[in-house]
């Protein structure tokens, strides 16, 4: 009996030790999860749900699944090599330096499109939630991440814990939204597994936007950078343990994020599609929610949007820094990076607001641009993680590589079809 009791205590101590190690590792997937829940997802999912009901829900699940696999590969790359994806790409181009600059500029364009959506989400939420005029919200929105990074600059762990708050606000907010809108469970199940585009070019555009809003280029770049920082100086045995923790964190947190992503479209389909609501802006979505489901539904919707905009802006800033430092091989002051990124987006966005252009349309088209940019990190990522010489024992299994290649093919097929069909329609 004594021996059994001692064995139980040893097992309990080991379990606590393993849990403590896991909790100390968590953070990378939490920060990356905002790619599933950023304002770009709001734009594409709301338009998709309002215009086509549950029809495009399968695209959300497909995009979330592909993103989960690719994020796993990115994080594993950082653990195995102790280098980020941008750093490795720069090394591969060391004998062809002429390619580094155009690749960097293209990656920066993708980061700018990402930040545009995040910035717009913050601006729109401030305007609708607190009645701040758009022009003033645009100015304050330019300072949001600077404030957060100032408060958390000394301890990165504090920033990770802050993300727990943001993700929790968005998750519980959408639990409430689904509760009040009462979506059709049978339609959700059917359209989750039945591919359809409702015979519409607009549906294809939104589908590509959904993919671009989920499988985001900047998220593929940043995940490897975040895990690299945690793996630096670790032994092979510790890296093996980290890879397991990475897999668990990736599946758990990105599954939750994927459900939230789908919930945005489900809420929109349940709230707006049956009422034939022509939702062409987030403002209209908010103003339609309030009379149908009460003030609380509208306010919670805006609070989740504000949390999404601020948190995803932080992710975008960290990603931009990793891209610039990795590809150029030079350290970049994060404040300089923040000001440059915001300046690139604040000026055109402010002009668009003054001209009265629709922010939701800007959101959707920015996500289409992101989808077209996905191959930049995606193709090198799949090639690198299947290299035994680079990855060692962390190299992809054959089935993993095959599924990743299939994901690449699906995304490229969506993009190609959109481009061809768009040109065909323009020629008619």
Written as tens digits, the pLDDT of the chain (428 aa) is 555 565 555 555 445 577 777 777 788 999 999 888 888 888 889 989 999 999 999 999 999 999 999 999 999 999 999 999 999 999 998 878 788 889 988 888 888 777 777 778 888 888 889 888 877 887 777 777 667 766 666 677 788 888 989 999 999 999 999 999 999 999 999 999 999 887 678 888 889 888 888 888 889 999 999 999 899 989 999 999 999 999 999 999 999 999 999 999 999 999 999 876 677 667 788 888 999 899 999 999 999 999 998 888 888 888 888 888 899 888 777 667 667 666 666 666 667 667 766 665 666 677 777 778 889 999 999 999 999 999 999 999 999 999 999 999 998 888 888 777 766 664 55
- The number of folded domains in the chain is 1
Question: Does the residue 12 lie in any domain?
Answer: no
The answer to whether position 4 is within a domain reads no
Question: What phi, psi does 73 have (nearest 5°)?
Answer: -65, -40
For residue 407, is it within any domain? yes
Answer for the pair 223, 78: CB distance below 8 angstroms, yes or no: yes
CA trace torsion 355, 358, 364, 365 (10° rounding): -30
- Using the structure block, give the residue that is written with the tokens 């909790």: 23
pLDDT value of residue 16: 57
C-beta separation of 342 from 244 below 8 A: no
Within-domain flag for 129: yes
6 within domain boundaries: no
In a domain, 164, yes or no: yes
pTM of this prediction?
0.89
- DSSP, residue by residue, 164-217: HHHHHHHHHHHHHHHHHH---HHHHHHHHH----TT-HHHHHHHHHHHHHHS-H
Count of Cβ atoms closer than 10 Å to residue 85 Cβ: 29
Domain that holds residue 374: 24-427
Which two three-digit tokens encode residue 21? 């190690």
Residue 347 sits in a domain whose CATH number is: 1.20.1740.10
CB atoms within 10 A of CB 383: 14
Within-domain flag for 7? no
282 CB burial (10 A radius; 0-12, 13-18, 19+): buried
Q: How far apart are CA 326 and CA 223, in angstroms?
A: 13
Choose among 248, 247, 293, 241: nearest CA to 267.
293
Q: Can you give the pLDDT at residue 13?
A: 47
Does any domain span residue 346? yes
């Amino acid at each position: 009996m004594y021996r059994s009791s001692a064995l139980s205590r040893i097992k309990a101590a080991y379990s606590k030790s393993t849990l403590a190690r896991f909790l100390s590792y968590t953070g990378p997937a939490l920060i990356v999860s905002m790619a599933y829940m950023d304002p770009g997802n709001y734009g594409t999912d709301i338009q998709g749900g309002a215009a086509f009901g549950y029809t495009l829900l399968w695209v959300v699940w497909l995009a979330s699944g592909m993103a989960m696999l690719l994020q796993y590969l990115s994080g594993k790359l950082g653990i195995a090599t102790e280098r980020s994806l941008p750093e490795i790409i720069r090394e591969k181009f060391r004998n062809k330096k002429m390619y580094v600059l155009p690749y960097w500029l293209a990656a920066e364009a993708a980061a700018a499109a990402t930040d545009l959506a995040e910035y717009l989400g913050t601006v729109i939420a401030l305007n609708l939630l607190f009645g701040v005029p758009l022009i003033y919200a645009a100015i304050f929105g330019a300072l949001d991440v600077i404030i957060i990074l100032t408060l958390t600059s000394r301890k990165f762990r504090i920033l990770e814990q802050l993300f727990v708050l943001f993700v929790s606000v968005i998750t519980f907010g959408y639990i409430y939204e689904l509760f009040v809108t009462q979506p059709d469970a049978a339609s959700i199940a059917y359209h989750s597994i039945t591919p359809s585009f409702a015979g519409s070019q607009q549906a294809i555009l939104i589908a590509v936007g959904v993919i671009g809003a989920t499988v985001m280029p900047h998220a593929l770049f940043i995940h490897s950078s975040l895990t690299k920082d945690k793996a630096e100086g670790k032994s092979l045995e510790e890296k093996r343990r980290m890879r397991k923790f990475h897999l668990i964190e990736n599946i758990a947190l990105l599954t939750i994020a994927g459900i939230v992503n789908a919930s945005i479209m489900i809420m929109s389909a349940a709230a707006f599609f049956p009422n034939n609501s022509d939702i062409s802006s987030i403002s209209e979505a908010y103003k339609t929610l309030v009379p149908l489901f009460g003030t609380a539904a509208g306010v919670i919707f805006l609070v989740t949007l504000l949390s999404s905009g601020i948190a995803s802006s932080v992710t975008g800033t960290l990603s931009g820094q990793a891209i610039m430092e990795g590809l150029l091989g030079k350290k970049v002051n994060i404040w300089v990076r923040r000001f440059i990124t915001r300046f690139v987006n604040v000026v055109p966005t402010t002009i668009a607001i003054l001209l009265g252009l629709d922010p939701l349309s800007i959101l959707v088209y920015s996500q289409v641009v992101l989808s077209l940019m996905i191959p930049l990190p995606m193709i090198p990522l799949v090639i690198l993680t299947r290299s035994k010489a680079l990855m060692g024992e962390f190299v992809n299994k054959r089935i993993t590589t095959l599924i990743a290649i299939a994901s690449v093919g699906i995304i490229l097929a969506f993009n190609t079809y959109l481009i061809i069909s768009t040109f065909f329609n323009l020629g008619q």
